[in-house]
Structures are given as C-alpha cells and as structure tokens.
Amino acid sequence: MRIPDWLVYSLVLAVIVFTLFVSENTRDEIAAPETTYGEVIIPAPSDAPSGPPLPETNPFDERILVQVGEVEDGIGTAFAINEAGLWLTARHVVDGCSEVGLAIGNGRMVPVEEVVRSPDSDLAILYTDRAPRTLGVDFNKQMRVGEAGYHVGFPQGNSGEVSSRLLARSRLVTRGRYSLEEGVLAWAETARTTNVRGTLAGMSGGPVFDADGSVVGVTVAESPRRGRIYTAAPSSVIRFLDEHSAVAVSGDTVPLSPETYASEANRLRSERAIVKVICRVTPW
C-alpha cells in the first residue's frame, strides 16, 4: 500500500519542529556565561578530563606580535601574593607610570610604594605596606593541554571574568616602547560572564586560576579575533620572583567550575585579593 504524500510531509515537519524545540531548550540551559566573539567553542563539562602534559617550548611555537604604544593613563589588574604587601601584575600595565595606585573601592586608593619591572617578561611586582589576604598559587604545577582556566580582573575597568581551555605554548613578541620576547601559555576562550563585552583590556595583570582554585599564571595579552588569551608562563613567574627574593605565600583555595567561578571571583575582589591598578602619567 502506498503511503499518501501528505502523511510523509507531515511526519517530516513534525521531526523538524521537535528538533528545533529540543535545540533551543538545550542552548538556554548552557548559555549562562556566553562567548561574544572569536571561534565558537562548546564549554566542556566541569569534570572533563584534560589531555597530555603541556610540551616544552620549541622553535615551532606560534609567535604573537604585540605593539606597546606611548605611555598614557590606564588601568589593569593586580593580585596579592604576600600579606606583607606584594602584588603581581603585568609590566605593560605599570610601565612608564609616574604614579601607581590600587583602587580598593568606595573611592579609596592605596599608593604603590615601589614598582619592580621584569627586564625579560611582561611581569611586575608592586609593593605596598600590606595586603588584606593572598591567593593560593601553584606556579610549579605541571600544566596539561585542555585543562580549564578562569581569568579574573577588571576588563574595561569593570569587574568581569572569562573561562578558557589551555591550548599550547606560544612566543609573545613585544615591540614599540620596549622590546621583549618570552614564552607564554595560549588559552582558548570558552565563555565569559554576561557583563563582559568586547575587549578584555584592563584584565591584564590579573590571575588565571586552574580548576583547583590555584593561580597558575598572569594574564598579559589577548587576541580578540581568534578568541585567545595569553598568560605568563609559570617558569617566568618563578624566575622573576626569585630574582628579587619575592616570596609568594600561598593562601587558601576554593575549587572552581563553570557554574561557580563568577561568584568566587566576586568574593576575591570584595576581599581585596584582586584589585584594580591605576596608572597615572602625571602625578595626582
């Protein structure tokens, strides 16, 4: 017996409508943090296994060119590594500033007494009289391809955070006001909290956490077109701290996931462990 054409068409239409309905509801369920640019990467489950150990640097690593312009007033991010008043940030955030301060809310500013800039990496140490608390750090960790990263700071001067997955090593080539070439880690952005739009400028100098809640690097650059974030290699951080006898005293850690990293980031900012850096070319 031949099935009527109208019945076949009706069945096909029903399947299409059902598929669209399921698809829309699935997107609604996973859309809490959203990616607004770059290649589309589906956020992996929080318990997704990571891949093999991150390979050592080699001549075929991707090279990223960054231009550093003229000195001007700007903002960035810093985080506490010692309650004696040591903070880490990115060198380009504070390079060339006449004065540097830490904005701690309600219009209050903590003056930075001394700035030490790395000569061979995009890192700087800020010294103040004290820090309210420190972050947990693990710069000796064996990094693995595909592991989760959570970047926290003040993109465009506002509180915000981004999640990512570790891709590979890269070479960051800085030209302009000063010249550097250093090994960095490349992360693929997977999602961001909904209040973060456009460029991540201002997040430079902020920490990147692993899933255990330990700081494993410092955010130093982004590639918006490719959806990439670059962080200082842990070995660079260790070398820089050792050169200046700066001791990172690890604080408590809280495990992070795609569902919890935004609230934990807000807590750390409210406790002043992660703060906004203000660079002034002309004195206050």
Residues 9-48: tens digit of each pLDDT: 444 344 333 333 333 332 222 222 333 333 334 444 455 5
The 10 Å Cβ neighbour count of residue 154 is 25
Name, in order, each residue with C-beta under 8 angstroms of 233's C-beta and a sequence gap of 6 or more.
Answer: 169, 182, 183, 184, 185, 217
Taking the C-alpha atoms of residue 143 and residue 167, their distance in angstroms, rounded to an integer, is 10
Q: What CATH number should be reported for the domain holding residue 120? A: 2.40.10.120
What is the DSSP secondary structure assignment for residue 244, as one 8-state letter?
T
Same domain, 17 and 115: no
The 10 Å Cβ neighbour count of residue 68 is 17
Same domain, 141 and 100: yes
Report the Cα 182 to chain-centroid distance in Å. Answer: 18
> Model confidence over 105-145: pLDDT tens digits?
888 899 999 999 999 999 999 999 999 999 999 999 999 99
Pairing of strands 74-82, 180-192: unpaired
CA atoms within 13 A on the CB side of 61: 22
> Domains in the chain: how many in total?
2
Same domain, 94 and 233: yes
Structure tokens that stand for 168 in this block: 């590979």
Q: Domain range for residue 11? A: 1-30
Same domain, 191 and 261: yes
Give the residues across from 148 on adjacent strands. 165
DSSP reduced 3-state for 28: helix
Instruction: Return the amino acid letter for 23.
Output: S
Look up the pTM and report it: 0.82
Taking the C-alpha atoms of residue 263 and residue 38, their distance in angstroms, rounded to an integer, is 24
**Inside any domain, residue 43:** no
> Model confidence over 160-218: pLDDT tens digits?
999 999 999 999 999 988 888 999 999 999 999 878 888 898 999 999 999 999 999 99
The 10 Å Cβ neighbour count of residue 147 is 21
Residue 154 has pLDDT above 60, yes or no: yes
Name, in order, each residue with C-beta under 8 angstroms of 45's C-beta and a sequence gap of 6 or more.
Answer: none
Same domain, 19 and 158: no
**Inside any domain, residue 193:** yes
> Model confidence over 227-260: pLDDT tens digits?
999 999 999 999 999 999 999 999 999 999 999 9
> Exposed/middle/buried for 160, CB within 10 Å: 0-12, 13-18, 19+?
buried
**Inside any domain, residue 266:** yes
Same domain, 81 and 8: no
Answer for the pair 279, 74: CB distance below 8 angstroms, yes or no.
yes
